[in-house]
Amino acid sequence: MEFSTQTTASLHQIKTAALAVGVYADGELSPAADVIDRASNNAVRNVVKAEFRGRAGTTLVLRALPGVSAQRVVLVGLGKQNEYNARAHAAAEQGFAAACVAARVAEAVSTLAANPIADTAMRARARSAAIAAGTASYHYDATFGKPDREARPKLKKITQVVERGDTAQAQQGLREGGAIARGMELTRTLGNLPGNVCTPTYLGDTAKKLAREFKSLKVEVLDRKQVEALGMGSFLSVARGSDEPLRFIVLRHAAKPAKKSKSGPVVLVGKGITFDAGGISLKPAATMDEMKYDMCGAASVLGTFRALAELELPLDVVGLIAACENLPSGKANKPGDIVTSMSGQTIEILNTDAEGRLVLCDALTYAERFKPSAVVDIATLTGACVVALGHVNTGLFSQDDTLADALLAAGRQALDTAWRMPMDDAYQDQLKSNFADMANIGGPPAGSVTAACFLSRFAKAYRWAHLDIAGTAWRSGKDKGATGRPVPLLMQFLLDQA
Ligand code: BES
Ligand code: MN
Ligand code: ZN
């Protein structure tokens, strides 16, 4: 999708397939809606009185209004005027894009970003407009026998009408939002692809393809032999249970005019379990298919790198992905097995289904060599996190208040929120093993916290935070599908540093 701006005094003369104008819930028209209302002999006011309530994100399509050049005027609900905020704006842009997709138009014009929001500047409004439109026009059909080409969204271009003085900010925001939207699209498609297509090899090939497309990216894909040489005994123990070869992916984005930064790179670490059956501690059958999404942390790293590279952000960023399957087999980990991690610490595997931490711990040790300024790992790590926070907030775990606050703020700004969870030392006791340096599970209480505590033992050399996206990376049920989260949060975090 393409995003651009235009400045126009006379909205009623814009030639487009669909023009969005905002209406507040109390029936108050936005300035743009007022212009269209006057040009059309009060067609807008009449329909608002009769049947449009203006709830945030709702839409009503009016065709061929007299005195208006646009083929359609789409009334878009903004919610109550005194409650109009960044979230209502994003819902409005998303509703408009969805209406455009339903009407099968190829291009459209929105006036919604021009509506002021107290604490949200034009650049941020434009950015979220692009992300919302990208989200609404996502379509998956990669694995249908005969993809229905007619069902593919036709929408290719949205133009925002802004005042001349806002043009530069709006264009910058749209550029950022467009890149984030394309990153999310990659993340969603990788997540939605089945485990027999999106294998560790496929993730490695996707990383290589990105590096061919973007000059600022370098990628190295390590195989089992190289991972053995590194001594990643914990990661290897999980991968051994599957015939599908493992991959350890190292991505690097370098700031363009080799801006020598004193601080080291930000390192993003993704859990890339391309299918998690649980191993010998086998999961129940009912929703096991959803464990194809157990590589969404890895997919969010790839999506973030795509956005980062497209924007050529002046930052050094490293991405690490530990990718393998977790299956039961004659070579799989058994409860009670003890493995030696790359750090030298030994781990008693009491539940083979707690495999995410077993692959991440070696990636966290590998991260030390970059002398990072911060490390953030992203993982669909625990069902317990879904119990604690549901599908609204990503779980954020960190012992570093500054880093935690930066990530929380980025999530709020990007409308991709996280909630900080505790990490008191007292929880570490639950990981005690009689036979190894630690156990890989801490029992039922505070399962997402003890998982984070496990990881913290491998992240002592740098500032570190952990994002548990088990509840936010995909939706179940009728609208099952990957969400692209937390790419917006991660990109905002990086934009804030660029
Ligand atoms: N990938 C799962 C976590 C998960 C489960 C995410 C369900 C989303 C929905 C992870 O590998 C796992 O199995 N975790 C176990 C840990 C337990 C054995 C301590 C869990 O959450 O049950
Ligand atoms: Mn598991
Ligand atoms: Zn898992």
Q: What is the pLDDT of residues 90-143, one digit of tens each?
A: 999 999 999 999 999 999 999 999 999 999 999 999 999 999 999 999 999 999
Q: Determine if the peptide bond prior to 445 is cis (ω within 30°).
A: no
The yes-or-no answer on residue 260 being catalytic is no
**Residue 459 amino acid letter:** A
If we measure between CA atoms, which residue out of 247, 237, 283 comes closest to residue 436? 237
For ligand 2, the distance from its centroid to the CA atom of residue 295, given in whole angstroms, is 11
Distance separating alpha carbons of residues 87 and 75, to the nearest angstrom: 18
As given in the structure block, the two tokens for residue 376 are 């953030």
Q: Which atom of ligand 1 is nearest to the CA of 290?
A: 9
* Alpha-carbon dihedral sign for residues 10, 12, 13, 16: positive
Structure token digits, residue 344: 């030298």
Catalytic, out of 38, 240, 283, 475 = 283
Secondary structure (3-state) at 81:
helix
Ligand 1, atom nearest to 278 Cα: 13
Q: Which two tokens stand for residue 66?
A: 């007299």
Model pTM score? 0.97
166-185: pLDDT as tens digits: 999 999 999 999 999 999 99
> What is the predicted pLDDT for the residue at 258?
61
**C-alpha to C-alpha distance for 29 and 38, rounded to whole angstroms:** 11
Site to probe by mutation for ligand 1, drawn from 275, 382, 483 as the one with most ligand atoms within 8 Å of Cβ, is: 382
Most distant CA atoms of the chain, gap in Å: 82
**What is the whole-number distance in angstroms between the Cα of residue 424 and the centre of ligand 2?**
24
Quick one: average pLDDT of 271-291?
Answer: 98
Q: How far apart are the first and last CA of the chain?
A: 25
Instruction: Give the Å distance between the CA of 200 and the centre of ligand 3.
Output: 14
Q: Is the pLDDT at 260 greater than 80, yes or no? A: no
pLDDT number for residue 259: 60
Instruction: Name the closest-CA residue to atom 17, ligand 1.
Output: 354
Rounded to the nearest integer, the mean pLDDT of the chain is 97
484: left (phi over 0), alpha (psi -120 to 50) or beta: left
Percent of the chain whose pLDDT exceeds 90? 96
The b-or-e profile of 132-141 (16+ CB within 10 A means b, else e) is bbbbbbbeee
CA distances from 232 to 199, 265, 367, 438 (A): 20, 22, 12, 16
Question: Would the pLDDT of 262 be above 80?
Answer: no
Give the position, in ligand 1's atom list, of the atom nearest the Cα of 450. 19
- Contact call for residues 299 and 225 (beta carbons, < 8 A): no
Does the pLDDT of residue 452 top 80, yes or no? yes
> To test ligand 1's pocket by mutation, which of 275, 289, 353 has the most ligand atoms within 8 angstroms of CB?
353
- For 194-245, what is each residue's pLDDT tens digit? 999 999 999 999 999 999 999 999 999 999 999 999 999 999 999 999 999 9
Q: Which of 284, 305, 245, 219 minimizes the C-alpha distance to 490?
A: 305
49 is catalytic: no
Q: Which atom of ligand 1 is nearest to the CA of 471?
A: 8
Q: Ligand 3 centroid to 269 CA: how many Å?
A: 15
Of the listed 125, 182, 292, 357, which one is catalytic?
Answer: 357
What percent of the chain has pLDDT above 70? 99
Alpha carbon of 386 to ligand 2 centroid (Å) = 14
What does the pLDDT read at residue 337? 98
Q: How far is the CA of 201 from the centre of ligand 3 (A)?
A: 18
d(CA 412, CA 415): 5
Q: Give me the pLDDT at residue 263, please.
A: 87
How large is the average pLDDT for residues 51-64? 94
Q: Which ligand has its closest atom nearest to the C-alpha of 333?
A: 2
Atom of ligand 1 nearest to the CA of 381: 3
- Pick the ligand that lies closest to the CA of residue 327: 2
Ligand 1 pocket, CB under 6 A = 276, 294, 351, 353-356, 380-384, 386, 441, 447, 470
